């Protein structure tokens, strides 16, 4: 069973961070506390090969704290107002550094606990090293959220069925894959998705180098404070 930080502790960290404007470490916290936490806007750390980010990047954001037992078991408490627009994307990142053509495998498994209220999606955010192409894989979503761009239809790839959207945010192309039904755990074979984008559709080059494979929660609203937990995550490539 995943070890979780008590909600009361995270709320206390939020209050302390707002008062002190500092990153909160948990060295002196109770024994059940996580090994790292931050309420800083850009708070980050690296644990067992994964980099964690608090990543409060949107306008009109409220309070948010991230905690971690490891790079693959972590969570966030967020209190963002019930307004439109993405407020944050707390995530855990694994760097790949291989071209699509050069990859023989790229897979990930996930298990999350998410709230029944609020507006958010749980997603992978995959980038090439030039940050010209962004591939999002939504495994679940709730509330008034939607993908950028226009629908390209539905297909089954990587062991899941997706509705695909293609768009551009003004800085880079965005290819979004929304799972046909919400899931809180599963395995995704990412490489066939990348090959379909590059080889079948020609939307990016198979020579593009895949850099960051991020996994986290894209939060639009979580008024009153909501908990999002990554119980387990693995990203492996070859």
195: enclosing H helix or E strand: helix 190-195
Q: What percent of the chain has pLDDT over 90?
A: 85
CATH of residue 214's domain is 2.60.120.180
CA angle 81/82/85 to nearest 5° reads: 90
Q: What is the mean pLDDT of residues 61-66?
A: 98
CB 164 within 8 A of CB 154: yes
Cα torsion 10, 59, 232, 128 to 10°: value is: -150
User: 135 is in which domain, residue-wise?
Assistant: 7-237
Q: How many Å is the Cα radius of gyration of the chain?
A: 17
Does residue 1 fall inside a structural domain? no
Instruction: Take residue 232 and report the two structure tokens written for it.
Output: 């387990």
| pLDDT tens digits along 168-187 | 999 999 999 999 999 999 99
CB 121 within 8 A of CB 110: no
| pLDDT tens digits along 144-157 | 999 999 999 999 99
Does residue 2 fall inside a structural domain? no
Report which of 96, 72, 131 is spatially closest to residue 213, judged by C-alpha positions: 96
Does residue 80 fall inside a structural domain? yes
As for how many domains the chain has, the answer is: 1
68: enclosing H helix or E strand: strand 63-70
Does residue 217 fall inside a structural domain? yes
Does residue 132 fall inside a structural domain? yes
Prediction pTM value: 0.87
Say if residue 169 is exposed, middle or buried (CB neighbours under 10 Å; 0-12, 13-18, 19+): exposed
Q: What is the DSSP string of 130-157?
A: TS-EEEEEEEEEESS---SSEEEEEEEE
Q: What is the pLDDT of residue 33?
A: 66
CB 143 within 8 A of CB 184: no
């Amino acid at each position: 069973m995943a070890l979780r930080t008590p909600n009361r502790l995270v709320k206390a960290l939020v209050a302390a961070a707002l008062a002190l404007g500092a990153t909160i470490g948990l060295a002196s916290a109770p024994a059940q506390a996580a090994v790292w936490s931050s309420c800083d806007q850009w708070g980050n750390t690296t644990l067992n090969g994964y980099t964690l980010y608090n990543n409060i990047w949107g306008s009109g954001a409220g309070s948010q704290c991230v905690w971690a037992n490891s790079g693959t078991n972590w969570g966030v408490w967020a209190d963002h107002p019930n307004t439109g627009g993405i407020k944050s994307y707390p995530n855990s990142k694994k760097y790949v550094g291989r071209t699509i053509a050069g990859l023989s495998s790229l897979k990930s498994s996930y298990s999350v606990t998410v709230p029944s209220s609020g507006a958010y999606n749980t997603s992978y955010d995959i980038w090439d090293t030039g940050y010209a192409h962004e591939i999002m894989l939504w495994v679940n979503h709730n509330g008034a959220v939607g993908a950028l761009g226009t629908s390209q239809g539905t297909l089954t790839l990587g062991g899941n069925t997706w509705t695909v959207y293609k768009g551009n945010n003004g800085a880079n192309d965005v290819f979004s894959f929304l799972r046909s039904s919400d899931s809180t755990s599963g395995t995704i074979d990412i490489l066939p998705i990348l090959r379909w984008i590059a080889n079948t559709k020609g939307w990016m080059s198979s020579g593009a180098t895949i850099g960051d494979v991020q996994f986290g929660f894209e939060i639009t609203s979580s008024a009153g404070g909501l908990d999002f937990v990554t119980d387990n995550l693995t990203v492996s490539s070859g």
